[in-house]
Amino acid sequence: MAVLNKIRQRSLVLILVIAMALFAFVIGDLFKNSDALTGGNIDVIATVNGKDINRTEFQQKVKNYQDRSGGRTTSTQAMNVIYNQELRKILLETEFDELGLGVEKDEMRDLLKTSFSSYPEFQDENGQFDVNRLNAFIANLKDLNGDTAPLGNFLVNYESWANNEQTIAANAVQQSYYNMIKAGVNTTINEAENDYFGDAKTVDVRYVQIPYTSIADSLVQVKKSDVKDYMNRNEDKFKVDATRELVYVEFKEEASQADEDKIKSDLVALKADRLEYNDSSKNTDTIPGFDNTQDVEEFVNLYSDLKFDDTFLREAQLPGVAKDSIMQLNVGDYYGPYKDGEYYKLSKLIEVKQLPDSVKVRHILVPYIGGQRADATVTKTPEEAKKTADSILAEITSGRKKFMDLLELSSDKVSNEQDGEIEFAYNAGMAPEFKAYAFDNKVGDVDVVGTSFGYHVIEVLEQKSFNKTYKVATLADKIEPSDQTLQDVFNKMSKFEIAAKDSDFNALAKERELTVKPITFKELDENIPGLGSQREIVRWAFNEDTDVGDYKNFPVSGFGFIVAKLVESNDEGLMSVEDASIIALPEIRKEKKAQMIREKLSATTVNEIATNQSQSPRTAAALTIKSTTLSGAGVEPKVVGAAFGLSEGGTSKPIDGEKGVYVVEVTKISDATSLENYTAIINRLNTEKRNSVQSKVYQALEKAADIEDNRAKTVY
């Protein structure tokens, strides 16, 4: 009894403990498996016809796709590609399952035979496909427990083989599915006749057009209710995805004028020698400047953001903004600092030389293993190739052998066909070492030159069109904002963001001389014009916690910052009446003008109407039902169609066309002679229809599918 009394006394506590445990279990499950509090599962990318696309598997496929693309696609682009692939797969598999389509074991063996019959691993001694060898190969893969075996030029394991089988089977089922649909797509004789007469039968007409422009827009009143009515009658024109509209101001991390002045002064300071205390020697050393350095290349490479260029430059190769000034310098003189693109530069003229614009040389190429374009027959090491080239040079310079006698030792078979000769201009795409020797030396010079292709024995044969060239040493300093400027930009942005709390965004921007830029985007958009990929901004704008009027700053890589404000939030559905008015107003005015024109037409013939409305009758000859162009009026499908509904001599009622109201009189009908056989037309139309089956079937499946797309709420 004592125990029972204690249980009764503590029953309330036990009930509370159990209730809390159940509550924790339910809430924990909610947070673990879904965002049920907000209406969706965070582990599901999308649900298609009741089948989920798992988030983890989806992200792995996205990663694999990006890896295969070598970084040439953004994460959003890759996600869209994989999503479309998964969507297509589910839609088609749903159809296949409902139809009972699949691949039987015997059929699978036939498919594998078709795919792999050319592989020696699956052929008998007569070169014929041997299914037993295929079965043995698959069995061996199973026994390898994940290890790979060679197949052709590939290494495969059982998992990759099974995946490949699934792909082959899926492709076969898909092809069977489309073939069945294509087999049911046929053209009737009536369709073939209509197609034939659509080109062959013609009509001549007289018509009068009363243009819509004959009534001023100011005479047509369009109410808001008219726009709504037009929208309801033409819903497809006004359906829109969910959108968000932002306005934003930019805070660019750009070098200030003070930064640019500092860069220029630093460049100038590099000209003079400077004193520097040496901790090791306890002496003050003199460090040569650009004026007195003995090694120009080392100096430029040490102090410049662009490496030293040791080549002689033609006029066209000099920087456009400095070309004329550099060409007027004396050797040892400077030009600059000057601004060239994203750099400030200080250029010193090192040497002036007359050099040819084109040369002719002949060469013998001795390649080595690993050299560019070296084939499998090349066996020499770089050291051995150099030794061979040196021995060829010795034979030539000693006079024991002539250059032509040794061409057979060259691996350049193309130039060998021209006696080893190559002619090229200074801007040709040749190996730089090869080009430098040909242009910088004299006719008759011969030597060994190493390039990425191997070692060349080169003889300069001819040089043409000598012009002045310039060797220029240039110190370049990239124009970048200083730390102080970066801090100033951040402070400016922060102050604007704080002030925006109690101010009108546009007025504040105007007061601080900032340009307000608008942008509208959809939930799955990625790029913002001028800012590049900015999914973080898009996510924020579509976040359920972000309200119209909210604002936030965002860092933009390589740019700086923006402060954005959400100004409009539009849900999926029909666009607003205000936005729809841009499209609807011209069409509504046309409808109202057409009614006004019809109401004042009392005459019934083309001539009478033309006279009463101060218009001139027009003619159009050889109209066809397939052509919607009315001579003298432009594209008018309703008018052309109405003409083919009249008998010869018949006159139409008023027709509301694209550019006005028309009345048409048929003056002549030229009937075509029926064909005895429409087989050719039927075959052509069948081909056209069947070629479009695949895309149209998929579009129909997608339109009919039940798709819940959670991409924007999960991985994007």
**What is the rounded CA–CA span in Å between residue 58 and residue 441?**
62
- What pLDDT shows up at residue 72? 82
Alpha helices, DSSP H only, in 130-222?
131-143, 158-183, 189-200
Q: Distance between the two ends of the chain, CA-based, in angstroms?
A: 63
- Give CA–CA dist 441/423, Å, rounded: 15
365 pLDDT higher than 90: yes
**Beta strands 154-156 and 149-151, pairing class:** antiparallel
Which residue type, as a one-letter code, is found at position 454? G
Average pLDDT over residues 142-152: 88
Return the domain boundaries, the chain.
Answer: 2-33, 101-183, 202-240+577-670, 244-254+481-569, 287-478
Q: What are 410-423's pLDDT values in tens digits?
A: 998 888 888 899 99
| Confidence at residue 257, expressed as pLDDT on a 0 to 100 scale | 95
220-263 tens-digit pLDDT:
999 999 999 999 999 989 998 899 999 999 999 999 999 999 99
Structure tokens at 345: 């530069």
Cis peptide before 319 (omega within 30 of 0): no
Tokens of 622: 């050889």
pLDDT given for residue 403 in this prediction: 92
Instruction: Please check the confidence at residue 32 and state whether its pLDDT lies above 60.
Output: no
Strand arrangement of the beta sheet that strand 660-670 belongs to: 618-623, 202-211, 660-670, 655-656
Confidence of residue 9 (pLDDT cuts 50, 70, 90): very low
70 vs 402 pLDDT, higher one: 402
Q: Can you tell me the distance from the alpha carbon of 419 to that of 407, in angstroms, rounded to the nearest whole number?
A: 8
Nearest to 605 by CA among 644, 648, 650: 650
Going 551 to 557 to 559 to 560, the CA torsion angle's sign is: positive
The answer to whether 202-240+577-670 and 287-478 have equal CATH topology is: yes
Band the pLDDT of 127: cuts 50, 70, 90: confident
Q: What local confidence, expressed as pLDDT, does residue 69 receive?
A: 82
Nearest residue to 489 via CA among 256, 247, 248: 256
Q: What pLDDT is recorded for position 379?
A: 87
Mean pLDDT of 693-704: 92
Specify the pLDDT at position 652.
96
Q: What is the pLDDT of residue 714?
A: 66
Do residues 524 and 242 touch, judged by C-beta distance below 8 A? no
Q: Which CATH code of 1.20.1630, 3.40.1620, 2.30.30, 3.10.50 fits the domain covering 202-240+577-670?
A: 3.10.50
Mean pLDDT, the chain, rounded, equals 89
The closest of 92, 137, 153, 115 to 698, measured between CA atoms, is 92
- For the whole model, what pTM was predicted? 0.63
Mean pLDDT of the 333-358 span = 95
Chain-centroid distance of CA 161 in Å reads 33
Q: Which amino acid, residue 254?
A: E
- Nearest 5°: phi and psi at 62? -65, -45
Checking if the pLDDT of 527 tops 70, the result is: yes
What would the mean pLDDT of 524-536 be, rounded to a whole number? 87
pLDDT score of 616 more than 80: yes
DSSP β-ladder status, 707-709 and 446-451: unpaired
What pLDDT score was predicted for residue 659? 96
CA distance 419 to 435: 19
Residue position matching structure tokens 């520097």? 276
Instruction: Say if residue 181 is exposed, middle or buried (CB neighbours under 10 Å; 0-12, 13-18, 19+).
Output: middle
DSSP three-state, residue 245: strand
H runs (alpha helix) in 34-121: 55-69, 75-99, 105-116
**287-478 CATH fold:** Chitinase A; domain 3 (3.10.50)
Average pLDDT over residues 479-506: 95
Tens digit of each residue's pLDDT (9 = 90 or more) over 194-225: 999 999 999 999 999 999 999 999 999 999 99
Rounded-to-integer distance, Cα 253 and Cα 489, Å: 6
Q: What is the pLDDT of residue 21?
A: 45
pLDDT in tens, 367-410: 999 888 888 788 899 999 999 999 999 999 998 988 988 998 99
Q: Residue 126 pLDDT more than 90?
A: no
- The per-residue pLDDT for 373 is 85
pLDDT tens for residues 414-460?
A: 888 888 999 999 888 899 999 999 998 999 999 999 999 999 999 99
Ranges assigned E (strand) in 323-453: 334-340, 343-366, 421-425, 446-451
Residue 715: the pLDDT is: 56
CATH number listed for the domain at residues 244-254+481-569: 3.10.50
Burial 157-173 (b: 16+ CB within 10 A, else e): bbeebeeebeebbeebb
Please state the rounded mean pLDDT for residues 122-145.
89
Question: Does the pLDDT of residue 42 top 80, yes or no?
Answer: no
Report the pLDDT averaged over residues 143-161.
87
Write the burial class of residue 276 (CB in 10 Å: 0-12 exposed, 13-18 middle, 19+ buried): exposed
pLDDT at 24: 46
Instruction: Please give the pLDDT value at position 329.
Output: 95
Cα–Cα distance for residue pair 703/448, rounded to 1 Å? 70
Residue 672: pLDDT band (50, 70, 90) is very high
SS3 per-residue string spanning 489-527: HHHHHHHHHHHHHHCCHHHHHHHCCCCCEEEEEECCCCE
